[in-house]
Structure 1
Amino acid sequence: MIKHQRALSGVLVLAVAVAGALAAGPAVTASTGTADHDRLHEVMHRLTTVDGGPGALIRVRDRRGDAVLTSGVADVTSRAPMRGDSSFRIGSMTKMFVATTVLQLVGKRRVVLDAPVERYLPGVVRGHGNDGRAITVRQLLQHTSGIPDYLNYLSLQKVLKDPLAHHDPHDLVNMALAHPPTFKPGTGWSYSNTGYLLAGMLIEKVTGHTYGQEIRRRIIKPLRLRQTYVPGDASAIPGPHPRGYARPGQDAPLMDITAINPSVAGPSGSMISSGTDLNRFLGALVRGRLLRPAQLREMMRTRPTGSPDGSAYGLGLESDPLPCGGLYWGHDGGILGYQTLGGATVDGRQATVMVNLYPGESDAQDHDTKTAVQTALCEDRPSL
């Protein structure tokens, strides 16, 4: 997992309440299947022991079935086990939904990928060398715009003062534009959540509706995603869900940060979903149910991110090599309290993992969430 792909940086920790310490050795529970999947069980156990996560789940699906594996607890106070049908904040996995919506507009000829951002948001991207006349829509979606990431400049103290406060996307964009570009547009790659704030604003400008309304109309309703929401300012997570925790430093106590105003992430990372819904979405996306062939090809036209693991980034969608051969497509997500990663293969397999800890105390959780998805996608069948 690429650290700079997270929806919120590890510096932004909202200390709402301090929870108790974890008990050692949480149980790993499979809801279906009897096959021996030792490696996946081992990785899930590691996420909730040595990696420090309170709980974790992985939902696996292919054309023959669906299965879920859970480990650890949803609440460190009550010790309630992690539920396989949980909803959770998905952080930067939101970007796949936003990019899909923009590409649907491209397919309808309402947006041109290689048109300047200025055409749709006149005067918005200006200042300190940032210029919407020189940046294209494609570059926003692919993180090649050079626009600084606003999360690098968001004050922790301001958020801590009122964690339920509304954050206007224009203010967050202007926070980024008060700094010079990372590079000349199109000449580099650097993850920027600001680009997706602008993509959300573009959707609203073109359609007359918020990005959330368009995602609901174009993706959530057609796919019947019953646990997927664009929450706006709502701080609650609907339905069964684990508490979300953060550990701001090594040996620091867990902090319960379940309740936040997700407008601090907006179209770059505010959405809520479940393993079942995310797998359905990923399967529909990579198999061409949401985009026309031309737009899906553009989404999957990638460039290297510079990561040693071989990841490459398209338009809101990342490709990664599988240890068993081939690629999977997906995205990671990290927002205060929750870390997620989902992936799908073009032959019909999907897997989504979630841990109710973010940020954690080390990079081991990053590595093991990715290992869990890769292991699940390489198994012969989804029974756990």
Structure 2
Amino acid sequence: MIYCVVDENGSAMERGAGMVPWWSFTKSVIATLVMRLTATGQIRLDDFYPDKPFTYKQLLNHSSGLGDYSFLPEYHRAVANNDKPWPIDLLLEKVDVDALRYSPGESWCYSNIGYLLLRQQLERLYDTEFAILINDVLVKELGLSSAHVVKDKQAFELLEGSVDGYDPSWCYHGLIAGTVKDAALFLHYLINGDILSNEALTQMQSMLPLNVDVGERPWTHPAIGLGLMCNDDNSLHTVGHTGMGPGSVIAVHHFKQQSPKTIAVFTQGQDQAEVENKAVQLAINGL
């Protein structure tokens, strides 16, 4: 297990080292970049995504009605067999992307497809590819020198906990990797107000309560923000994101407590509760 604790002043304490996949913590980065576009007026949260019946806000908080490729047994078989990733058009056809599971805004369903659409719109509006955008913002602007987009099998195999033969293009919204320290620092900078305006940050943390069974995970009042998983409880008030993929899992969460901490925990395996409960333990007790 590798982890890092960042205190309210931005000082980081680490245990373990190595480059790791950030999995769905990538969504928090995508959402942050979308929120920057709202600050410049290029989009508004309540604007409809081009030619679609849902808004940017509904994509960001998974209330768009979109389904997901994670529901397709064919997808999981193809990944397990190390097949070549499907072209995006074929993926959207297999998911039947226009057949919404519910009317936008009327329910909630976690959707990687929604974040694929957001990534595509980022590339159009910033007029650059996702990997360059990540390098410009995370590396050049924020100094998170380890952060990069993983594009192929060879690059993925250099990461901790990698699975032989996995093609990261199966992660359709893009896969950022880096150290756990840089993951924690990104979230620290975000919540500290170093990346977004106060207005945009407040909007990003607007919470939609979720009626879901979290099992052994530590969240007592789970909620979703805009690209952020949250626990809306005064005794455990958190914002962040957990991510999981073949071979490993990562939790990156900020704890709003008397001595705020931002914590990233990574381990091999598929147990999201393990890394989340470790993050809670570190928030309460420290290293």
TM-score range, shorter chain: 0.7 to 0.9
**Does 1:273 find its partner at 2:193?**
no
Structure 1 counterpart of 2:224, from 282, 291, 313: 313
**Alpha-carbon spacing, 1:94–1:352, altered in 2? closer, same or farther (3 Å):** same
Structure 1 counterpart of 2:5, from 18, 42, 60: 60
Match of residue 32 from structure 2:
100
**Alpha-carbon spacing, 1:146–1:57, altered in 2? closer, same or farther (3 Å):** same
The structure number with the bigger radius of gyration is: 1
Q: After TM superposition, give the deviation of residue 203 of structure 1 in Å.
A: 0.8
Provide the aligned length of Structure 1 versus Structure 2.
277
Give yes or no for contact 2:188–2:254 (8 Å, CA) kept in 1: yes
Structure 2: state its 5+ residue gaps: 214-219
- Measure, in 2, the Cα distance between the counterparts of 1:372 and 1:203: 33
- Measure, in 2, the Cα distance between the counterparts of 1:66 and 1:307: 33
Tell me, what secondary structure is at the counterpart of 2:148? coil
The AA in structure 2 aligned to 1:140 is L
- Measure, in 1, the Cα distance between the counterparts of 2:88 and 2:38: 23
**Alpha-carbon spacing, 1:116–1:367, altered in 2? closer, same or farther (3 Å):** same
Structure 2 counterpart of 1:297, from 197, 202, 209: 202
Match of residue 361 from structure 1:
none
Equivalent residues in 2 for 1:68-79 (5 A)?
68-69=14-15
The AA in structure 2 aligned to 1:339 is V
Match of residue 20 from structure 2:
88
Structure 1 counterpart of 2:274, from 361, 368, 373: 368
Structure 1: state its 5+ residue gaps: 1-55, 70-83, 123-131, 245-256, 359-364
- Measure, in 2, the Cα distance between the counterparts of 1:377 and 1:238: 31
The AA in structure 2 aligned to 1:60 is V
Q: After TM superposition, give the deviation of residue 146 of structure 1 in Å.
A: 0.6
Structure 2 counterpart of 1:341, from 251, 260, 269: 251
**Does 1:242 find its partner at 2:160?**
yes
**Alpha-carbon spacing, 1:67–1:314, altered in 2? closer, same or farther (3 Å):** same
- Measure, in 1, the Cα distance between the counterparts of 2:165 and 2:5: 28
**Alpha-carbon spacing, 1:287–1:220, altered in 2? closer, same or farther (3 Å):** same
**Alpha-carbon spacing, 1:168–1:293, altered in 2? closer, same or farther (3 Å):** farther
Structure 1 counterpart of 2:263, from 351, 365, 383: 351
Match of residue 205 from structure 1:
124
Question: CA-to-partner distance for each residue in 1:48-78, whole Å, 9 max, x for gaps?
Answer: xxxxxxxx12211213843334xxxxxxxxx
> RMSD in angstroms over aligned alpha carbons?
2.3
Q: TM-score, normalised by structure 2?
A: 0.88
Tell me, what secondary structure is at the counterpart of 2:263? strand
**Percent same amino acid at aligned positions?**
23
Structure 2 counterpart of 1:328, from 238, 246, 261: 238
**Does 1:156 find its partner at 2:43?**
no
Q: After TM superposition, give the deviation of residue 340 of structure 1 in Å.
A: 0.6
